[in-house]
């Protein structure tokens, strides 16, 4: 028995000695001390030992076990220490390396242009309001004098939520909301996102932004409209900017016009920027149609109004001389940082 225990111990110590890592160490432990291990089976065969010898043999087994466990534990601690040291080495931090700078964002050209427009109109006493992007067909079309079969509805095809609800095609719908509140006079601008069923190209996008303007008061005239928009053009494109109004048609204004600004690049002589025209179209406007006032509960005998709608991207693209609208939506920080 004694020789057997001695040989188990020698074998165990030899195997522990050559073990190369925690895993092989564990294999040794299982093979010797585990449930089916060699030393355990010696304990199990105690019943074959003469009763008077049992305490002695038991004590020997325990001593061998304790010794193997001790050596196993020492070796395990040594392996763990080595592992920890290797890990620490691999994770060394070079405190002299330059720090990574956090990426700071930049205001979008649309946002910069919008803040500029808001500043100009707030300066003239306007209020900034907002309306819903998901809108009743009534507010987007009907109440703006665009009945169901009107051809203007074709030009502004949009996304229908259902028969009565659309993604608004124009911020002009906010005019109706403001008129319906019945708080007069009105002097407001309403910026926001609009939607059209358009293909993406350098000048089109299915979502873009407009800034609507509406003034309703007694004794408002077309001269007020012209003066206001001329002042706006000068502030946004420079003091030398001239404006030109061309007759146009919008269902919700009468008379209606489109406003051009003199090309701020060539001063009106004609260049690549204004496609040789000397003028650049920037907005639609007109005197609010009496029918529009009436439908929203404002008496057209007593009140008059003018309105305008500017494409925000158009202003941003012109102001920053960007030639492709798609760049505004990619949000590449290298592009945005330039403005």
Interface ranges with ligand DAH (CB under 6 A): 170, 172, 212, 250, 253, 284-286, 307-309
End-to-end Cα spacing for the chain: 90
Phi and psi, residue 119, nearest 5°: -60, -45
Nearest distance from C-beta of residue 191 to ligand DAH, angstroms: 13
Closest to ligand DAH by CB, 25 vs 194, is 194
Closest to ligand DAH by CB, 84 vs 249, is 249
Q: Take residue 338 and report the two structure tokens written for it.
A: 């330039």
Nearest distance from C-beta of residue 147 to ligand DAH, angstroms: 16
- Closest to 117 measured CA to CA, from 215, 190, 66, 31: 190
Nearest distance from C-beta of residue 243 to ligand DAH, angstroms: 15
Nearest distance from C-beta of residue 263 to ligand DAH, angstroms: 22
Closest to ligand DAH by CB, 250 vs 264, is 250
- The DSSP line for 119-176 is HHHHHTTPEE----SEEEHHHHTGGGT--TT-THHHHT---BSSSSEEE-S-TTHHHH
Task: Name the E strands within the chain.
Answer: 127-128, 134-136, 165-167, 186-195, 207-217, 243-250, 253-262, 279-288, 304-311
The distance of Cα 60 from the centroid of its chain, to the nearest Å, equals 74
* 279 beta partners: 262
- Residue 174: Cβ within 10 Å count: 25
d(CA 290, CA 293): 5
Nearest distance from C-beta of residue 265 to ligand DAH, angstroms: 25
Nearest distance from C-beta of residue 198 to ligand DAH, angstroms: 12
Q: Take residue 260 and report the two structure tokens written for it.
A: 């051009």
Closest to ligand DAH by CB, 241 vs 253, is 253
Closest to ligand DAH by CB, 171 vs 262, is 171
Closest to ligand DAH by CB, 16 vs 167, is 167
- Closest to 203 measured CA to CA, from 90, 112, 280: 280
Q: Which residues lie closer than 8 Å to 99 by C-beta, 6 or more apart? A: none
Nearest distance from C-beta of residue 292 to ligand DAH, angstroms: 10
Closest to ligand DAH by CB, 129 vs 266, is 129
Q: Take residue 112 and report the two structure tokens written for it.
A: 């910069």
User: In the bound complex, which residue of the shown chain has the CB atom lying closest to ligand DAH?
Assistant: 309
Nearest distance from C-beta of residue 334 to ligand DAH, angstroms: 32
> Quick one: DSSP state of residue 53?
G
| 133 within 8 A of 195, measured Cβ to Cβ | yes
Nearest distance from C-beta of residue 286 to ligand DAH, angstroms: 4
Closest to ligand DAH by CB, 61 vs 120, is 120
Q: Take residue 191 and report the two structure tokens written for it.
A: 């910026």
Closest to ligand DAH by CB, 139 vs 308, is 308
């Amino acid at each position: 028995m004694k020789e057997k225990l001695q040989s188990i111990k020698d074998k165990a110590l030899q195997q522990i000695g050559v073990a190369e890592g925690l895993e092989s160490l564990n294999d040794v432990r299982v093979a010797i001390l585990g449930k089916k291990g060699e030393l355990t089976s010696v304990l199990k065969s105690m019943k074959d030992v003469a009763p008077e010898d049992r305490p002695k043999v038991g004590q020997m087994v325990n001593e061998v076990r304790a010794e193997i466990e001790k050596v196993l534990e020492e070796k395990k601690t040594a392996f763990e220490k080595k592992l920890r040291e290797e890990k620490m080495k691999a994770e060394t931090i070079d405190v002299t390396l330059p720090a990574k700078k956090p990426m700071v964002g930049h205001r979008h050209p649309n946002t910069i242009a919008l803040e500029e427009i808001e500043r100009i109109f707030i300066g003239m006493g306007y209020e900034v309001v907002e309306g819903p992007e998901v809108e009743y067909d009534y507010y987007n079309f009907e109440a703006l004098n665009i009945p169901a079969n009107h051809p203007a509805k074709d030009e502004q095809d949009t996304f229908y939520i259902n028969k009565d609800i659309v993604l608004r095609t124009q911020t002009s719908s906010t005019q109706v909301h403001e008129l319906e509140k019945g708080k007069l006079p009105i002097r407001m601008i309403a910026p926001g996102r609009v939607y059209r069923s358009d293909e993406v190209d350098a000048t089109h996008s299915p979502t873009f932004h407009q800034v609507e303007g509406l003034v309703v008061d007694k004794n408002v005239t077309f001269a007020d409209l012209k003066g206001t928009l001329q002042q706006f053009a000068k502030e946004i494109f420079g003091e030398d900017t001239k404006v030109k109004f061309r007759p146009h048609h919008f269902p919700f204004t009468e008379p209606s016009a489109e406003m051009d600004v003199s090309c701020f690049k060539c001063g009106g002589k004609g260049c690549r920027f204004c496609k040789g025209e000397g003028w650049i179209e920037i907005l639609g406007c007109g005197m609010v149609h009496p029918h529009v006032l009436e439908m929203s509960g404002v008496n057209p005998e007593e009140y008059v109004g003018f309105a305008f709608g500017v494409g925000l991207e158009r202003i941003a693209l012109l102001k920053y001389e960007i030639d492709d609208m798609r760049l505004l939506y990619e949000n590449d920080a290298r592009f945005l940082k330039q403005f």
